[in-house]
Structure 1
Amino acid sequence: MVEYFKKRKAKKQEIIQRVKEDKAKRKERKQEITALPESERKAQIESDKLLRKEQKQERKQELKSLSRKERKEAKKEAKMYKKIKNRPRRIAGWSAVAALLLIVIVTTGPTVVSVLDNVTGKHITIDTTSTEAIKAREAADVVSEEIANEGLVLLKNENNSLPLTDNKINVFGSTAFTFKYAGGGSGASDQTRAVSLFDALKNAGVEYNQELYDYYMGLPELEEKTGNSDTGVVQVIKGMLSSGEPAGEPDITDTTLAQAKDYSENAMIIIQSDAVEASDVSIEQLQLSDEMHNLVEKVANNFSNVTIVVNAGNTLELGFVEEYPSIQSVIWVGTPGPFGTNSLAKALSGELNPSGRITDTYVYDITSSPASENFGDYKYENLDKAYLNYEEGIYVGYRFYETFYQGNEEGYNQTVQFPFGSGLSYTTFDWNIVNQELNSDSIELQVEVTNTGEVAGKDVIQVYYTPPYTPGGIEKSAINLATFEKTKSLEPGESEVVTIQYGTREMASYDMVNENYILENGTYQIKLGKNVHEIDSAVNFELSQDIVYQTDDATGTEYKNRFTQSENELTVLSRNDWEGTYPSDEDDIKVATDKIIERVQGHEYNDDVEMPTTGADNGLKLEDLKGLDYEDPLWDEFLDQLTVDQMINYVTDAAYHTIEIEELGIPNTVLMDGPAGFSFFFKQFEAGAYPTEIVMASTWNKDLAYKMGETIGQEAKAYGIHGWYAPALNIHRTPQGGRNFEYMSEDPVLNGIIGSGMAKGAEDQDVTVYMKHFIMNEQETNARSGILVWSNEQAMREIHLRPFEMTVKEADVTGAMSSFTYIDGKWANPELLNGMLRDEWGFEGVVSSDAVFGFMEPQKAITSGNDLMLDILSVTKNRDLLEEAYDERPEAITVGLRNSMHNALYATLKTHIFN
């Protein structure tokens, strides 16, 4: 073993040197290209790109000629190279936190008081001890376990090995004692009531090997950690300090193994990954460590019925389960909240029949997606900013794999292990389309679902569509999720007719050339799938001529391209030329153009406005406006009463609360994280705790999503909370995203349906829902120093904006949280926050920033549509910035402040505080 580590260290040093040399060559080449005349530059870029693609193909051919052992070693070396190349990202993340701590240390005077108030939560007054609060938590616990039950996914079950026949099991691995109930950061939740895995097994009547348990508990490096949970900020710092290496695993002795074999042929191993806000996940953390692989091998070679449990919010590489025939079953539990262990134990015993479906594509190699080519630490050489190119376009997740491998089943099966939407049951179901109505307005199917097995269970009908595609035309995925429905629990032999309906318009594609949405004529295949790849049946919808949509269906606002100002040279992936357009970070010219620099550093103020009235005495209180429309004239009379100082104080001091303005009847409000149950980043308090959003989405249950939001809303009222920083609607762009546990899936429609259900449930309880992070916040590396995200309009509209649009229109949300990202070269982009969100979609309500960092300037925010600053450390600084901006541009700043107050107070009036 010592020799192994010596060799590994030597190989690592060799690769580090190679990375340095390659980096120097790339820099030299970029300088050469930058120095060329513009007319020659593009040709050289294309020439270099072609050369790299040829080299890549040569490497692939070389790999094929190697033996399996040599190929495995070569792939391992390639992954180590990529990891070392992208290593700066953890350092970058830690630097942001170090900068924050430095601010706290050097701050003096009134700012210290402000910082301490924000960090200690002194201004947040909630009551978690009342009878109503206790009842609300009890209700939350019931819903939490219901979500965990329905979110559990059975991915493999050879020979019906589950449920267990003798209810005895050996639990191997230290991971059983460090079960992951939730993620870390703002998406963390209260785990003080968490049920340990071993208590859950007892509860379900499953006997576990006590001697094996005692062996692990006797190891000095191991202790059971059930119910222990740090605050969000501590989790973030721990995550940033971690090495990015997978956790080790203690060895198992031959004696212990023999005793376990005598106990039962059933064995279970839990595999995990760590993920936390502010840190992305390394490729190695999504693979088995050498030590864990040794444990799997030992157990698989000694037991006939092995179950692997996936306890992770990120997509792991699971190819190893096919190496051993004895691995009969795989169960995905995600990060299932405090009662998820109960769900797992009940699934083992047969008390629970799994009905969840995965929300991501599981592939053998997580780097095989095009998005993974542009993930990591990328910085401009002439601009103090990081950037990220979304060169994959619309081909995220299954949209890539199903389109790229269309007609190549062998290639698909070698790449994809578990398709998006996969999930098994202990029973079987038969589907029969009993009625269909397909027209230019709506697609409606009635499907009779019959339980043809021997135990009760629920089924999920997934509806996809395949649109007509013209090579060289608008980009279209070979298949897209349209909607889904989940049945009630059906007894053996019982049937239910499920009605499935969605608008035909929802199949339209965005045409960037003509700046509209279009349903192109041709055949649309409407498919009923067990998952995205296993299609049960299909019907055709024929469209004889194009249908063009020029305006938004909700507001009538005319469509236009809104994000085209960057002139950033992107090669966006196209199915018309996979090889010529496949992403590569080697293509980057890391020199920001003058236009990019100007957009990042500049800001357009609207100085052509009249100075509004301020400080008037009109005798109005906020409650006098309750029930009035956003555009009601009385709002102007009320807003005329606000002074500039009052408005500046209000918008800058808005971290987890808004301040009171007593003389105008404006109350203090309390705003809380998080997507898996209420939490405060800096201190713990008792609250309902739910599975993370990925598990909520894996239920594929619309009613349960609404129920979660409703229960959280009821808890908010019991505590005196008025705003909820959730749901999180960003997609899983790659498996490495540090907040994937906090987000729902790789698919925008699934995110939109589940997210809008959660949002509507809470909004119906008169709680302001701050859907987040608006938009394209799918990477933690460099996020908190401001990262420029480049994409194209079609991908932004169809993938990244879609869940937010659905939630605005279906849940009528009154709040949003903007992201850290610079969209099209602008943080707090006015085309995004005013043009898209408010004008095009018709959103009426408040936009808060995410936690404020140095690049997020309030004067730019309030004149661009971002109303509140979630300001933890820099309230005084941001007040000063607004006052300076007011001195220079009094009209523009006053109008911006007034609009922000209007938006924020309109949302406040809709909360339960005024009931």
Structure 2
Amino acid sequence: MFEYFKKRKTKKKEILQRVREDKAKRKERKQEIASLPESERKAEIESDKLLRKEQKQQRKEELKSLRRKERKVAKKEAKMYKKLKNRPRRFTGWSIFAAMLLIIGVTFGPTVTSIVENVTGKHITIDTTSEEAIKAREAADVVSEEIANEGLVLLKNENNSLPLADKKINVFGSTAYSFKYGGGGSGSSDQTRAVNLFDALENAGIEYNRELDDYYKGLPELEEVTGNSDTGIVQVIKGMLGSGDEEAGEPDVSDEALTQAKEFSENAMIVVQNEAVEASDVSKDELELSDEMYDLVKKTAENFNNVTIVVNAGNTLELGFVEEFPSIQSVIWTGTPGPFGTNALAKALSGELNPSGRITDTYAYDVESSPASENFGDYQYENLDKSYLNYEEGIYVGYRFYETFYQGNEEGYNQTVQFPFGSGLSYTTFDWEVVNEQLDNESIELQVEVTNTGDVAGKEVVQVYYSPPYTPGGIEKSAINLATFAKTRLLEPGESEELTITHDIRDMASYDMENENYILENGTYEIKLGKNVHEIDSTLDFELSEDIVYETDMDTGTEYKNRFTQSENDLTVLSRNDLEGTYPSDQDDSKVASDKIIERVQGHDFNDDVEMPTTGAENGIELEDLQGLDYDDSLWDEFLDQLTVDQMIDYVSEAAYHTKEIDEHGIPNTVLMDGPAGFNYFFEQFEAGAYPTEIVIASTWNEDLAYEMGESIGQEANAYGIHGWYAPALNIHRSPRGGRNFEYMSEDPVLNGMIGSGMAKGAQEQDVTVFMKHFIMNEQETNARSGMLVWSNEQAMREIHLRPFEMTVKNAEVTGAMSSFSFIDGKWANPELLNGVLRNEWGFEGVVSSDAVFGFMEAPQAVTSGNDLMLDILSAPKQKQLLEEAYDEHPEAITVGLRDSVHNALYATLKTHIFNQ
């Protein structure tokens, strides 16, 4: 063992030296190019780009020519090289504590008191022990199990190997004893009621090999785990410390145990999984099988005729290995399915449950084969103390890339994509028939009769896509896009259901950056009914004879305009007109921030040209007097006139997991809680309903079930005394490596928007403030908490990243949002985002809270830009001081900003159950 680590250390040193030498060469080459005349510079850059592509292809060919063992070694070295090249700066040991103190500017006195109150939750009072609370939790468990049942996805089932014929199974691997019920961080949930895998098998009437179970339990390497015992903050700190960098070993199975298992049954099952936690992204290595796990799979597959692989992961794993072994007959995806996900898995194995879920991401053979992977990781400016991230993939995220890039190249597609977006099988079969269609300039309406033609009851998902007309060199358009979907009820054999599926044709419009509007260009729109994005059942043509231009928002009448171009940060964004020539590469980045970027990041405009509002008036109005009034009712002004500047400063600064009471005006204390998979407090565990993570909720493709979850959360909130919910999380799976992919839903904005709207509406209708998050572009954990500049273009931002939030605002009428850590278009708390888009364009009325505050997030900028509350755990006194100093310099701007922020927060509070009679 010592020799192994010694060799690894030596190899690591060698590769690190190579990394340094290569970095030095690249720097020298960049300086060389920079010194050339502008007319020659572009040609040299293109020449270098072409050379890198050729070298990459050459390396691929060289790898193919190697033997498997040599190829493994070469791939390991390549991974180590890439990891060392892109490794982020990490905090270690006491340095994390010291760094946090520096970031937040902790001082003695009131700051320490504030920290203690926030961490201990002194200001947060909830009751989880009442009869009402217990009933709400019991109801939550029912919904949780329904979601796990419907979110289960059957990806492969050769020879109808499932359900199991003899109801006996051998469970191999240590991973069966550390089943992942959820993820880590604010998206974690209470797993104290989690059912372990073996109990679940027994519950479903499946006999598992107890001798094999005893063998594994007797191994010294094995530590039995059910659920997570760490609080959210501990999980996050572990993520920041990089505790998951090294591969976990997988104990070998002895020949004796293997022989006994073969005598027990020909059925075998292995659980494959990955660790994921907030504050740390996932390496490519973690999305592949470790060598030890591959050896276990190989040994099992060579000794058993019917092997089932269970994918227990919130990130997209590489599953190409399942095609290497004919005996791997079935693959089931559970995701991170909550405390009762093992029950769902066991019932699917036994046949009691017929899987009806669909995956929400593309499963590619290589998780880094998408363009977004080229700009994912640690990127730092050389002349600015900021990290950055270029979204050069534009609109081509997930399946939008694969379906467009490989259009007309089926062989290339099949070599790249293993399971297309939306894939999922059933134990039965279904026929679809479009019995009626109405396609006009307002909407697409299809009536689809779905018939169960098999022998078992089941549910079916009808996915509707569209392919718009595309002009080379014109507006960017994906070859295919999800429009909407619907799911049947449980259909018995021979039973039919007629689904009416509708979507506005406006939803198929593209954003035209040149003319600053949305447009449906004339031509043929192919409306496609698909089993998944690549397997199309039928196609209808919708002809549009002339362009339809949308210049204003249909709900508010606000005129569209480009809002995110002020930085003038040049990107080479992927274009369908030249997919190979514009394919992203982080080697093309300019790591030097322009003067314009530096000025934009460091500057902030305070609008002093406003009238100073009245403060401290004695009008005798209490908050409850405003209940039911419109946001802009004149009585609000009279009420807000009563607040002093100090009261408003306290209110917006001390808003971590609660808002403060102001007794003299009838303003109550409110309680605000994480998280997307069930209520939790970042610093302390408490008993609450626990649900599957959002990726599993989305994999149900069931809006009604998403609504039921939101409704259940809302009922718990009423029972516990919680008034705001930091959820749902609507960000995109931009890359399989995203540390919070388990907490987010999918790679598609429409799926996110439909499921997210359902969750939000269910909770909102129980009089709970729903804080949809993280608004916007919070798809990477590396550097997120240091204030990362995210660059994209307006079309991608509107069509991909803003879309699920827009749908949730308009469909669920949410009264809360949480802004992201990201600097959007060069600004944290970007006013064009929070006021221009969210409030003015979309008509949002309510409160915006920050995410957990770090040093770059300052209250004066926030309250004058549309961010109302500071979720400040550790430095609220510093925020107060900053506001007081800003008030001395900009009294009108700060007072108006504070007043708007308090107005927004109290308007949302009035709509919570705290004021219900």
TM-score (norm 2): 0.98
* Residue in 2 that maps onto 1:559: 560
Q: 2-side partners of 1:638 and 1:29: how far apart? A: 64
| Contact 1:466 1:526 (8 Å CA) reproduced | yes
Who is 1:584 aligned against? 585
1:496-645 pair list within 5 angstroms: 496-645=497-646
Whole-Å separation in 1 of the counterparts to 2:106 and 2:794: 43
How far 1:29 moved relative to its partner?
A: 2.7
Q: In structure 2, what is the equivalent of residue 179 of structure 1?
A: 179
Instruction: Assess, with a 3 A threshold, how the Cα gap between structure 1 residues 615 and 42 changes in structure 2: closer, same or farther.
Output: farther
Name the structure 2 match of 1:137: 137
Measured in 2, the distance between the counterparts of 1:759 and 1:95 equals 39
Structure 2 distance, partners of 1:685, 1:568, is: 46
**CA distance in 1 between partners of 2:2 and 2:329 (Å):** 34
Give the aligned residue type for 2:83: K
Change (3 A) 1:186 1:60: same
CA contact (8 A) 2:103 2:854 kept: no
Shift, 1:65, TM fit: 5.7
Give the Cα–Cα distance (whole angstroms) in 1 for the partners of residues 15 and 642 of structure 2: 66
Cα-to-partner distance string for 1:728-782 (whole Å, 9 max, x where unaligned): 0001000000000000000000000000000000000010000000000000000
Superposed counterparts of 1:329-344, under 5 Å:
329-344=330-345
Partner of 1:876: 877
TM-aligned CA deviation for residue 81 of structure 1: 1.9
Q: Name the counterpart of 2:277.
A: 276
Aligned position for 2:413? 412
Q: Write the distance in 1 (CA, Å) between the matches of 2:92 and 2:476.
A: 35
Q: Equivalent residue of 1:354, what SS?
A: coil
Change (3 A) 1:105 1:874: closer
Q: Which amino acid aligns with 2:377?
A: G
Partners of 2:216 and 2:112 lie apart in 1 by 47
Deviations 1:145-177 (A, max 9, x none): 000000000000011110011111111111111
Task: Tell me, in whole angstroms, the C-alpha distance in 1 between the residues paired with 2:631 and 2:168.
Answer: 62
Give, in angstroms, the shift of residue 676 of structure 1. Answer: 0.1
- 1:505-541 Cα offsets, whole Å, 9 max, x none, are 1000001111110001111011111110011111110
Mark the CA change 1:871 to 1:5 in structure 2 (over 3 Å): closer, same or farther: closer
SS of alignment partner, residue 540 of structure 2: strand
CA distance in structure 1 between the partners assigned to 2:63 and 2:295 by the alignment: 25
How many angstroms apart in 2 are the aligned matches of 1:101 and 1:131? 42
Question: 1:341-369 CA distances to partner (integer Å, 9 max, x unpaired)?
Answer: 10011001000000000000001110101
Aligned to 2:865: 864
Between stretches 586-595 and 12-21, larger displacement belongs to: 12-21
- Aligned residue number for residue 165 of structure 2: 165
Gap change, CA 1:788 and 1:37, over 3 Å in 2 = farther
- Greater Cα shift, 548-557 or 11-20: 11-20
What is the CA–CA distance in structure 2 between the aligned matches of 1:301 and 1:457, rounded to whole Å? 33
8 Å Cα contact 2:179-2:227 kept in structure 1: no
Partner deviation per Cα, 1:22-41 (whole Å, 9 max, x = no partner): 11112223334455566665
Contact 2:163 2:350 in 1 (8 A): yes
Q: 1:103 to 1:543 in 2, by over 3 A?
A: closer
Match in the other structure for 2:856: 855
SS at match of 2:902: helix
Identity %: 83
The 8 Å contact of residues 370 and 398 in structure 2, kept in 1 or not, is answered as: yes
The separation in 1 between residues aligned to 2:335 and 2:630, in whole angstroms, is 43
Residue in structure 2 matched with residue 107 of structure 1 by the alignment? 107
Structure 2: runs of 5+ lacking an equivalent: none
Q: Map 1:184-263; keep pairs closer than 5 Å.
A: 184-241=184-241, 242-263=243-264
Deviation at 1:124, TM superposition (A): 0.3
Q: Which amino acid in 1 is paired with 2:135?
A: K
Gap runs ≥5 in structure 1: none
Inter-partner Cα distance in structure 2 for 1:535 and 1:579: 27
1:892-903 alignment, distance < 5 Å: 892-903=893-904
2:113 counterpart letter in structure 1: V
Shift of 1:580: 1.2
**Is 1:702–1:754's contact at 8 Å kept on the other side of the alignment?**
yes
For the structure 1 residues 66 and 290, does the alpha-carbon distance in structure 2 shift closer, same or farther, using more than 3 Å as the test? closer
- Counterparts of 1:298-377 in structure 2 under 5 Å? 298-377=299-378
What CA distance in whole angstroms lies between the structure 2 residues aligned with 1:799 and 1:109?
Answer: 46
Residue 30 of structure 2: aligned partner: 30
SS of match in other structure, 1:685: coil
CA distance in 1, matches of 2:292, 2:621: 69
CA deviation string 1:535-590 (max 9, x = no partner): 11111101111111111111111111000011112100011111210000101110
SS at 1:870 equivalent: coil
Q: Secondary structure at the match of 2:741?
A: coil
Is 1:472 aligned to 2:476, yes or no?
no
Give the distance between the partners of 2:325 and 2:365, measured in 1 at CA: 15
Instruction: Please give the alpha-carbon distance, in whole angstroms, between the structure 2 residues aligned to 1:522 and 1:380.
Output: 44
Deviation digits for residues 671-698 of structure 1, max 9, x if unmatched? 0000000000000000000000000000
2:206 and 2:346 in contact (8 A); partners too: yes
> Could you tell me how far 1:92 is from its partner in structure 2?
9.3
- Give the aligned partner of residue 695 of structure 2: 694
Select between 657-666 and 213-222 the one with higher mean Cα deviation. Answer: 213-222
Partner residue in 2 for 1:708 = 709
Task: Specify the alignment match of 1:79 in structure 2.
Answer: 79
Shift of residue 227 of structure 1? 4.2
Contact 2:360 2:699 in 1 (8 A): yes
- Report whether the alignment pairs 1:845 with 2:846: yes
Query: Do the aligned partners of residues 105 and 211 (structure 1) sit closer, same or farther apart at CA in structure 2, a change above 3 Å counting?
Result: farther
Residue pair 1:30, 1:589 contacting (<8 A) in 2 also: no
How far the C-alpha of 1:59 sits from its partner, in A, is 3.9
Q: Do the aligned partners of residues 775 and 93 (structure 1) sit closer, same or farther apart at CA in structure 2, a change above 3 Å counting?
A: farther
Work out the CA distance in 2 between the residues paired with 1:486 and 1:663. Answer: 51
Match for 1:277: what amino acid? Answer: E
Secondary structure at the counterpart of residue 891 of structure 1: helix
CA distance in 1, matches of 2:228, 2:403: 42
1:911 maps to amino acid: T
Q: Would the aligned equivalents of 2:244 and 2:275 in 1 still touch at CA under 8 Å?
A: no
Which structure 2 residues correspond to residues 374-389 of structure 1 after superposition, within 5 A? 374-389=375-390
Q: 1:832 to 1:894 in 2, by over 3 A?
A: same
C-alpha deviations, 1:612-661, integer Å up to 9, x for none? Answer: 00000111000111111111111111111110000000000000000000
Amino acid at match of 1:15: I
Amino acid at match of 1:332: W
Residues 104 and 112 of structure 1 are in contact (CA less than 8 Å); yes or no, is this contact kept in structure 2? Answer: no
* Partner Cα separation in structure 1 for residue 511 and residue 452 of structure 2: 40
**TM superposition shift of 1:55:** 3.5
- 1: distance between equivalents of 2:71 and 2:581? 26
Secondary structure of the 1:171 match is strand
Kindly provide the amino acid, as one letter, of the partner of residue 201 in structure 2.
Answer: L
In the other structure, the counterpart of 1:788 is: 789
Change (3 A) 1:719 1:425: same
1:674-693 map, 5 Å: 674-693=675-694
Task: Give, in angstroms, the shift of residue 14 of structure 1.
Answer: 2.7
**Cα pair 2:354 2:457 within 8 Å, conserved:** yes
Contact in 2 for aligned 1:849/1:868 (Cα 8 Å) = yes
Alignment partner, residue 148 of structure 1: 148
- Cα shift at 1:88: 2.5
- The structure-2 alpha-carbon separation of the partners of 1:9 and 1:658, relative to structure 1 and needing over 3 Å to count, comes to same
SS in 1 for 2:850: strand
Q: Would the aligned equivalents of 2:105 and 2:878 in 1 still touch at CA under 8 Å?
A: no
Q: What is the alpha-carbon distance in structure 2 between the residues aligned to residue 218 and residue 884 of structure 1? A: 64
